[in-house]
Amino acid sequence: MNKVAIVTGGGSGLGQAVALRLEKEGVHIVVVDIQEEGGNATVEKVKALGVDSFFVKADVSKPEEVKNYVDQTVNRFGTIDYFFNNAGISGSGKFFLDSTIEEINQIVGINLLGALYGAHYVGEVVVNNGGGSIVNTSSSAGVIGQDSVVTYSATKHGIVGLTKSLVAEYAKDGLRVNAIAPGPTETPMVKAFYEANPEMKENATRGIPQKRLGTPEEVAELVTFLLTSKAEYINGEVIRIDGGFTNTK
């Protein structure tokens, strides 16, 4: 019987790469994104490779829309086995005191509250069904401090706390929760951020021992490993995938 996965932020970048990689494991994919065009494009790519998939449009900062994508998944497939809790935004790159309260609220709403809502509603299904796996997307900015991304960094540190504390409460019920902490990666979100802040790309690349950005496909391999039974005894970990970037900090 095919496993079932929800991937938020699945319309591009890490989410799309993970959806396509999970397809190789025979996993049915529910793609969640606020952008319909990208979300539907991912679904078409996944279905063309041979598994079932559908798209749900959602603003993850709204709990009712998070509950809706969970309910639609259960109605269609009966269960949830894997959850890539990934949707997020980076913000403008302005220093914190130059940021507006509206931007702070938006980043917190999507990156942290959206992840909490997703973990809550998916966790209910997973625990009631005897177990499953969640991978949350943190960031290099979730394990070290970085300028120009203070609010983003705060939310990604929050993801680390979410990951570890869920394990403390629910590992006994069959729930596995891990987090990834990618460094600068060639995703549309990161590319847009660096286009608006070109000096930061140069600084980031210079600071990566491997002297390049990561790729979504490299991250997708790690996420797939952590979600599936190949990582059955890995729980509560925050795994950095950053070319050594945070190792030098």
Q: What pLDDT sits at residue 247?
A: 87
> Which residues pair with residue 136 across a beta bridge?
85, 179
Q: Is residue 30 part of a domain?
A: yes
Residue 100, pLDDT score? 98
Q: Tell me, what's the pLDDT at 42?
A: 98
* pLDDT at site 196: 79
The reply to whether 132 falls in a domain is yes
The reply to whether 206 falls in a domain is: no
Question: 130 in a domain, yes or no?
Answer: yes
User: Is the backbone of residue 26 left (phi > 0), alpha (psi -120 to 50) or beta?
Assistant: left
Residues of the chain below pLDDT 70: none
Q: What is the CATH number of the domain that holds 180?
A: 3.40.50.720
**Per-residue pLDDT tens digits for 132-189:** 999 999 999 999 999 899 999 999 999 999 999 999 999 999 999 999 999 989 887 7
**Rounded CA gap, 80 and 70, in Å?**
8
Number of compact structural domains in the chain: 1
194 domain residue, yes or no: no
Q: Active-site positions?
A: 152
Judge whether 195 lies within some domain: no
Identify the domain containing residue 54 by its residue range: 4-185+216-239
Q: Which pLDDT value is given to residue 108?
A: 98
The reported pLDDT for the residue numbered 28 is 98
Task: Return contacts of 243-247, CB within 8 angstroms, 24+ apart.
Answer: 243/183, 243/208, 243/209, 243/210, 243/211, 243/212, 243/213, 243/214, 244/208, 244/209, 244/210, 245/140, 245/183, 245/184, 245/204, 245/207, 245/208, 245/209, 246/140, 246/143, 246/144, 246/181, 246/183, 247/209
> How far is residue 237 from each of residues 16, 121, 134, measured CA to CA in Å?
23, 21, 11
pLDDT of res. 120: 98
Domain contains 246? no
Residue 193 covered by a domain: no
Note the pLDDT of residue 58.
Answer: 98
